[in-house]
Amino acid sequence: MYPWLWFWAPQIHLPFSGSVAQEIAPDTDWFFDSIRPEAGNGDLEKKIVEVASYGRQLGLITEVLLALADGETVDRETAAQSLERLKQIQREVEDLKRTNTSRTADAAIKLLRKLRDSDRLELDRVLAVFDAETRGVALSRLEAQIGHGPEGKS
């Protein structure tokens, strides 16, 4: 039972006497969690920033641009080095994108095989929808190029 004056009883917590469970690992994903899913691929963006941060990329672009614009703000040697580094970054990013695309295609094939094994009718439906959408996009592009589509009508 509670003593008569239990609500006046002091609660003293000496160090390490209470709950000391604490998350001490830093949360480093705050930036990439803020990228909207429809804006791009967050995992790919994270890998690209590991190649060169946004600030570093902008710094290199600025050096090259200023050298081209006036030639006085940044010397030619620095601009040439920055341009070469930008080309290297671009190659690395393209490699990352190719790898990501290949992994995505492999995952799609794996999922389609799983769907085929579990429900052949649903696989046929998915393929029919995809085929119709793909043909529709191709037809729209063709009509726009020759000027007979909705974009080409006056």
Domain boundaries, the chain: 41-115, 119-154
The mean per-residue pLDDT over the stretch 100-107 comes to 91
State percent of the chain over pLDDT 70.
71
CA atoms within 13 A on the CB side of 86: 17
Whether 47 contacts 96, CB under 8 Å: yes
Residue 150 has pLDDT above 70, yes or no: no
pTM of the model: 0.57
pLDDT at 92: 95
* CB crowding 101-124: b at 16 or more within 10 Å, else e: eeeeeeeeeeeeeebeeeeeeebe
Whether 72 contacts 50, CB under 8 Å: no
Higher pLDDT, 66 or 13: 66
Higher pLDDT, 133 or 121: 121
Residue 112 has pLDDT above 50, yes or no: yes
